[in-house]
Structure 1
Amino acid sequence: MDAFYASVELLRYPQLKGLPVVIGGGRRKVDEAIRDLPEGSTLADIPVDAFPRLKDYVGRGVITTATYPARQFGIGSAMGLMKAAKLCPQALILPVDFDEYRKYSRQFKQIILDIAPVMQDRGVDEVYIDFTDVPGGQREGGRVLARLIQKTIFDATGLTCSIGVAPNKLIAKMASEFDKPNGISIVHEGDLQTRIWPLPVRKVNGIGPKADEKLQRFGLRTVGDIAAKERDWLIANFGKATGAWMHEVSWGRDDRPVETESEPVSMSRETTFERNLHAVRDRAELGAIFTHLCEKVAEDLQRKGYVGKTIGIKLRYDDFKIATRDQTIARFTADGKAIRQTAGQCLKRVPLERPLRLIGVRVGALVRVDSPEATSPATSPTRARTAPDAAAATASLF
């Protein structure tokens, strides 16, 4: 999906189309103020000048996504909002609304399933689709079916997407980025040298900043540069698994199937605070946030038909150090109160003297709610696991 979160927001606020807009941070008082509308008016009637500007943002939130006009200023996902404000101070800023994005996510995925039922979910805004046996899937190299999917999604939601069609998932992923927004890119097996090899190595899904830095030190800047190296050389310098993988992907080889069934290992929710919060001084606020996260994880489990029995927490302190704890309970659950109670027990086993930047809740060891494991008699709970840096909490728990 093209700039998915931002595009969903533009459906609510069409007056912002064509303007630099970033999505990030939590909801603020100013965001609520612009929604205090006179009777009879709509969100589309809010004047542009009423929206908060990035130049006025104070905090350490990060950008989730940005509209294409904002990206022209060098703004991108995961960039700090304060840094982005220096690049484009006039940009408008909207808070993240995950509930709204999930609603549209379910809608566009159902549209695709109705057209091409062999689909692999890749997160809230991306999927893999197997065109092989879909009627008309091979016409114009897949372009006809890709256009049908684009049009059907747009007609139903007003949202655009970009589609890459290729012999495998590796190249299809790259191709989907070639002609954004609202583009269709067809890459055939014989196009490897002309269309894939000239790409920067970071365009390969799986090559991150550290691998890129090491490749650059060896003078390997493009996919073609990697392909020019012997497999044994790559293994010697990047390790057996990574080196062999780099050799395969540089030659466009990927035999992974489109997997329609993949059971999640866990579900989690977390939030980064606009300011540091302390377990004593901000106990009430932290408690409300913690309870809300537990309830949202429970809603996710119930909506997707899962229960779990390993419940854990994640804390990030003001010095960026992270603490995690988890505990396995006797019965599988998707109940918010049960999750909150066990997550609260986990809190008793972490230091709470330092201020917190982030808190998260996770439920693991998932099974389907209708599975035999979920309905079997309770088993003895396993001993709670504690990370090596565990220490007794000396502050009041929230």
Structure 2
Amino acid sequence: MAERLILHIDMDCFFAAVEQRDNPELRGKPVIVGGLSSRGVVSTASYEARKYGVHSAMPMALAKRKCPQGIFLTGNYPQYKAVSAQIFEIMSRFSPLVEPLSIDEGFLDITGMERFIKGNPRNYGMKLKQAVLKETGLIASVGIAPNKFLAKLASDLEKPDGLVIIRQEDIQRILWPLPIARIWGVGKKTEERLAAFGYRYIGDIARAGKDVLQKQVGERLARHLVELANGKDDRPVEPVRDAQSIGKETTFEENLQSRQEVEQHLLYLSAQVGWRLRRSGKNAHTVQIKIRLGDFSTYTRQKTLSDAICYDEDIFKEAKALFRAFSLPYGSGIRLLGVSCSGFDAPSEISLFEMENKQKKERLYTAIDKIKARFGEDKIAHLGESRVLKKINASLDGSEARH
């Protein structure tokens, strides 16, 4: 059986690079793409901007303080999506197994492709980089390794324009000296927790062993950490992945303070999620809300239903109930709200008793969906939060009162 060979390609500063490619006057200048409001965050920063300490996910207000001379753009997302499709088409020529990881990165399984690789995976990776550069004018970094974790890590080691191979025999030399934050799934809180036990580098985790770690952080996390610290990752490259959830979230210019404000936005989010469910032909058993407070602490609450749903009013009913059951810390404003649905199911048979009510809903939502299909999913919400949706909200409150 051939040893697995996985390639990870990651576009360098993708959004900013597209802007610099399409606008020559931006080349060599600090370009920062993201939300430009006071509550926005950085999506991508060019390497010229990174010299000033600007990075993705940084609050835009902080980025402006660090790099006041930067060129700040909201971004051209339809263009980024079009370029992304072009890049993934190129990738598909280099392997029949391509897994998109995000708009600007993906995995290729090149196991068993010796005839094409000709025994030299480095040259194969270089040919992919050259094809992307020639056809899009953009630079990519590539990592090649026996598994997805190591390949993704390798692509990040020599950015920009990197090409790194990690073999099994390289793990101690390359992987172990890296900080534990480079392990997939180790965020800031986990990093701090591990540091409290004296673990600072990946090699510290590998040498500690699972038994010791298990007593400190629990069996599941210990197993995950030890396997990755020793360069083990059995996840396959999956070319097609159905969405596991459909959702929508929004960050507010100013923190929400009142229940009325929150529920108004939950209604708006529920309408968008319902539209996306129906457009995808899906029904969902689970409704989840996401709440991020002003101090960035984040909470999720969810409920699983016996009957699958796809209508705005049903989603909103559950989202509102989840919020009302949430104990909001005193004096806390809400920075972000999200609503999502999962646990998809095919449409089920219903009783004759339910049929009449369902037909009324179908007529209502068919009309709503036609408006959205013609004018965009935000159209109804823009009509004063929508007379239609307000009627749904009023009828829902009325039915709750009757019960």
TM-score of the pair, normalised by structure 1: 0.71
Q: How does 1:169-184 map to 2 (within 5 A)?
A: 169-184=148-163
- 1:207 matched to 2:179? The reply is no
Q: How does 1:94-243 map to 2 (within 5 A)?
A: 94-134=73-113, 136=115, 138-139=117-118, 141-243=120-222
Structure number with the higher helix fraction is: 2
Count the aligned residue pairs: 338
Counterpart of 1:198 in 2: which secondary structure? Answer: coil
**In the alignment, which residue of structure 1 is the partner of 2:16?**
6
Q: Which of 361, 377, 386 pairs up with 2:349?
A: 377
Measured after TM superposition, the shift of residue 276 of structure 1 is 3.9
The residue type paired with residue 13 of structure 1 is N
- 1:16 matched to 2:21? The reply is no
Q: Please say if residues 198 and 223 of structure 1, whose CA atoms lie closer than 8 Å, have aligned partners that are also in contact.
A: yes
Counterpart of 1:64 in 2: which secondary structure? Answer: strand
Cα distance in 1 for partners of 2:90, 2:175 equals 30
Cα distance in 1 for partners of 2:223, 2:308 equals 43
Cα distance in 1 for partners of 2:294, 2:205 equals 40
Cα distance in 1 for partners of 2:119, 2:334 equals 55
**In the alignment, which residue of structure 2 is the partner of 1:33?**
none
CA, structure 1 residues 146+359, in 2 after alignment: closer, same or farther (shift >3 Å)? Answer: same
Cα distance in 2 for partners of 1:221, 1:153 equals 37
Cα distance in 2 for partners of 1:315, 1:216 equals 28
Counterpart of 1:365 in 2: which secondary structure? Answer: strand
Q: Please say if residues 246 and 273 of structure 2, whose CA atoms lie closer than 8 Å, have aligned partners that are also in contact.
A: no
CA, structure 1 residues 354+178, in 2 after alignment: closer, same or farther (shift >3 Å)? Answer: closer
Q: Please say if residues 150 and 160 of structure 1, whose CA atoms lie closer than 8 Å, have aligned partners that are also in contact.
A: yes
Cα distance in 2 for partners of 1:228, 1:61 equals 41
Counterpart of 1:194 in 2: which secondary structure? Answer: helix
TM-score of the pair, normalised by structure 2: 0.70
Q: Please say if residues 177 and 202 of structure 2, whose CA atoms lie closer than 8 Å, have aligned partners that are also in contact.
A: yes
Q: Please say if residues 180 and 201 of structure 2, whose CA atoms lie closer than 8 Å, have aligned partners that are also in contact.
A: yes
Cα distance in 2 for partners of 1:75, 1:244 equals 34
CA, structure 1 residues 331+282, in 2 after alignment: closer, same or farther (shift >3 Å)? Answer: closer
**In the alignment, which residue of structure 1 is the partner of 2:235?**
256
Per mean C-alpha deviation after superposition, the further-off stretch among 79-88 and 129-138 is 129-138
Structure 2 unmatched runs, 5+: 1-10, 356-389, 395-403
Counterpart of 2:336 in 1: which secondary structure? Answer: strand
Q: Please say if residues 245 and 342 of structure 2, whose CA atoms lie closer than 8 Å, have aligned partners that are also in contact.
A: yes
Q: How does 1:65-84 map to 2 (within 5 A)?
A: 65-84=44-63
The residue type paired with residue 13 of structure 2 is A
Kindly report the root-mean-square deviation, in angstroms, between the aligned alpha carbons of the 2 structures: 3.7
Query: C-alpha offsets along residues 57-105 of structure 1, whole Å, 9 cap, x if unaligned?
Result: x612221221111111121122112222232221121115544433333
Q: Please say if residues 4 and 125 of structure 1, whose CA atoms lie closer than 8 Å, have aligned partners that are also in contact.
A: yes
CA, structure 1 residues 301+110, in 2 after alignment: closer, same or farther (shift >3 Å)? Answer: farther
The residue type paired with residue 238 of structure 2 is E
CA, structure 1 residues 378+15, in 2 after alignment: closer, same or farther (shift >3 Å)? Answer: farther
Measured after TM superposition, the shift of residue 287 of structure 1 is 9.4
The residue type paired with residue 23 of structure 2 is Y
Query: C-alpha offsets along residues 117-147 of structure 1, whole Å, 9 cap, x if unaligned?
Result: 1122222222121111335454454122212
Counterpart of 2:102 in 1: which secondary structure? Answer: coil
Taking every aligned residue pair, what percent have the same amino acid on both sides?
31
Structure 1 unmatched runs, 5+: 27-57, 368-372, 382-395
Q: Which of 279, 284, 302 pairs up with 1:309?
A: 284
CA, structure 1 residues 301+66, in 2 after alignment: closer, same or farther (shift >3 Å)? Answer: farther
Measured after TM superposition, the shift of residue 329 of structure 1 is 9.7
CA, structure 1 residues 157+66, in 2 after alignment: closer, same or farther (shift >3 Å)? Answer: same
Cα distance in 2 for partners of 1:356, 1:123 equals 28
The residue type paired with residue 265 of structure 1 is Q
CA, structure 1 residues 174+59, in 2 after alignment: closer, same or farther (shift >3 Å)? Answer: same
Measured after TM superposition, the shift of residue 286 of structure 1 is 5.7
Q: Please say if residues 63 and 80 of structure 1, whose CA atoms lie closer than 8 Å, have aligned partners that are also in contact.
A: yes
Q: Please say if residues 132 and 139 of structure 2, whose CA atoms lie closer than 8 Å, have aligned partners that are also in contact.
A: yes
Per mean C-alpha deviation after superposition, the further-off stretch among 193-202 and 220-229 is 220-229
Q: How does 1:341-356 map to 2 (within 5 A)?
A: 341-346=313-318, 348-349=320-321, 350=323, 356=334
Cα distance in 2 for partners of 1:78, 1:239 equals 30
